[in-house]
């Protein structure tokens, strides 16, 4: 028999009381899943808060790379995912494609000792491990500028994977030269060489959307995530990570209109009035939306029955080097 939403919530709460479990939910989750999270936040906050939480089981409601980061930083915990959902951007690069990218730099006359790789946290553990082995580190959209500033002190070329938009936006902010692998630029002339990955959700926003809102509501502010194309970021009033956007928007005066270029579920619950989604197409992250209350219930039931489903497992080598890449970021 199909349980109603209220019945599912009650059963989930019963399991949460009975089991040594913490439910972790990303800001982009559906409202009903987000509401049952014991720990909520952006991808970095979730990994950091879960590290200091002492439950044996973590039920992670988000996408694969985020659950992996939790497992890498807290290897002794059993981390399970109600839905094994993959971030489209993270799937654009694997270890082999990372190696091919390094080779492209080598072919352009840049040897490995002159390359410092940085991977956006939206990448799988295998790529993080490769980056760690080459002396590089992870960054998030909130600390990318700081990480790149530190990395540049080593006087090396930065290979930035997988998000070309974040890499180019940070380069533009810092007055650095950037290019995208395969765009025909002489790689040796760029400070930051970006892999050609992107987020399909954040590609939905256009300069036409910005012009539309500016014309419709003179004085409106435009706030976007740095996974948007550089042309969008340049035409906006504020560019920030998920947590930075939340702070910026919730601190605006009540009558200030703002149009926001990021994931729908987050924008929808941000601020009751004067907040618009910067797109005529609903910018929902399909994989973030896959997780339902039924999935959370099913996974808690599997823990209770002693056979947890969808447990994240990472081999020892990948675990070691991915942790080093993440720890280098956390140390900064």
Helices 125-133 & 64-73, crossing angle to 10 degrees?
A: 50
* Site stretch for ligand 13P (CB under 6 A), options 31-39, 42-50, 179-187, 316-324: 42-50
* Residue 103, burial from CB neighbour count under 10 angstroms (0-12, 13-18, 19+): exposed
- Asked whether position 263 contacts ligand SF4 by CB under 6 A, the answer is yes
Which of 8-16, 36-44, 151-159, 185-193 is the region at the interface with ligand 13P (rule: CB under 6 A)? Answer: 36-44
Q: Which of 36, 39, 42, 222 binds ligand 13P (CB under 6 A)?
A: 42
242 lies in the site for ligand 13P, by CB under 6 A:
yes
Quick check: 169 binds ligand 13P (CB under 6 A)?
Answer: no
Among candidates 254, 217, 219, which has minimal Cα distance to 237? 219
Please tell me whether residue 232 binds ligand SF4 under the rule CB under 6 A. Answer: no
Closest to ligand 13P by CB, 162 vs 308, is: 162
In whole angstroms, what is the distance from residue 265 CA to residue 268 CA? 5
**Rg, the chain, Cα only:** 20
CB 161 within 8 A of CB 93: yes
Q: Is 209 in the site for ligand 13P (CB under 6 A)?
A: no
The residue range among 81-89, 123-131, 268-276, 320-328 that interacts with ligand SF4, by the rule CB under 6 A, is 81-89
The contacts of residue 215 (CB under 8 Å, 6+ apart) are: none
Q: CA-CA distance, 208 to 214, in Å (whole number)?
A: 10
Q: What is the DSSP letter of 3?
A: P
Q: Quick one: what does residue 88 bind among ligand SF4, ligand 13P, none, with the CB cut-off 5 to 8 Å set by partner type?
A: ligand SF4
Q: In DSSP terms, which residues pair with 311 in a beta bridge?
A: 80
Is 242 near ligand SF4 (CB under 6 A)?
Answer: no
From ligand 13P, ligand SF4, none, interface partner of 158 (C-beta below 5 to 8 A by class): none
Closest CA to 114 of 136, 143, 96: 136
Q: CA-CA distance, 126 to 318, in Å (whole number)?
A: 6
Question: Per CB under 6 A, does 140 bind ligand 13P?
Answer: yes
The interface region with ligand 13P, picked from 37-45, 100-108, 266-274, 291-299 by CB under 6 A, is 37-45
What 3-state class would DSSP assign to 189? helix
Locate 6 and state its tokens: 């209220």
Tokens read off for 322: 């991915």
Q: Rule CB under 6 A: is residue 201 a binding residue for ligand SF4?
A: yes
Q: Report d(CA 149, CA 167) in Å as an integer.
A: 12
Comparing CB distances to ligand 13P, the nearer of 157 and 202 is 202
Question: Which range binds ligand SF4 by CB under 6 A, 11-19, 187-195, 252-260, 282-290?
Answer: 282-290
Tokens of 246: 């939340």
CB of 254 to ligand SF4, least distance (A): 28
Residues that bind ligand SF4 (CB under 6 A): 63, 87-89, 122, 199, 201, 227, 263, 285, 287-288
Kindly list the residues in this chain that would bind ligand 13P in the complex (CB under 6 A). Answer: 42-44, 87, 121-122, 140-141, 199, 227, 241-242
């Amino acid at each position: 028999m199909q349980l109603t939403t209220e019945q599912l919530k009650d059963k989930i709460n019963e399991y949460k009381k009975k089991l040594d479990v913490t439910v972790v939910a990303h800001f982009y989750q559906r409202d009903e899943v987000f509401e049952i999270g014991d720990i909520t936040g952006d991808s970095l906050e979730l990994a950091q808060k879960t590290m200091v939480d002492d439950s044996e089981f973590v039920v992670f409601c988000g996408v694969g790379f985020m659950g992996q980061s939790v497992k890498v930083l807290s290897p002794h915990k059993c981390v399970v995912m109600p839905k094994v959902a993959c971030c489209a951007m993270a799937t654009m690069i694997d270890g082999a494609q990372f190696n091919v990218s390094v080779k492209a730099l080598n072919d352009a006359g840049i040897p490995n000792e002159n390359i410092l790789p940085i991977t956006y946290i939206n990448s799988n553990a295998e790529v993080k491990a490769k980056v760690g082995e080459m002396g590089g580190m992870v960054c998030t959209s909130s600390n990318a500028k700081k990480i790149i500033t530190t990395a540049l002190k080593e006087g090396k070329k930065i290979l930035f994977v997988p998000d070309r938009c974040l890499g180019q936006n940070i380069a533009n902010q810092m007055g650095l030269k950037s290019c995208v692998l395969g765009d025909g630029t002489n790689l040796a002339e760029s400070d930051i060489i970006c892999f050609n990955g992107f987020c399909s959700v954040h590609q939905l926003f256009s300069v036409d959307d910005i012009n539309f809102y500016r014309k419709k509501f003179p004085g409106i502010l435009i706030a976007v995530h740095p996974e948007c194309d550089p042309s969008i970021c340049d035409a906006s009033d504020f560019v920030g990570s998920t947590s930075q956007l939340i702070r910026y928007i919730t601190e605006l005066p009540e009558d200030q209109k703002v149009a926001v270029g990021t994931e729908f579920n987050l924008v929808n619950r941000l601020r009751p009035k004067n907040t618009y989604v910067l797109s005529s197409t609903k910018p929902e992250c399909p994989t973030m939306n896959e997780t339902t209350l039924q999935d959370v219930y099913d996974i808690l039931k599997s823990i209770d029955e002693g056979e947890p489903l969808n447990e994240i497992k990472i081999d020892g080598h990948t675990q070691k080097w991915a942790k080093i890449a993440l720890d280098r970021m956390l140390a900064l």
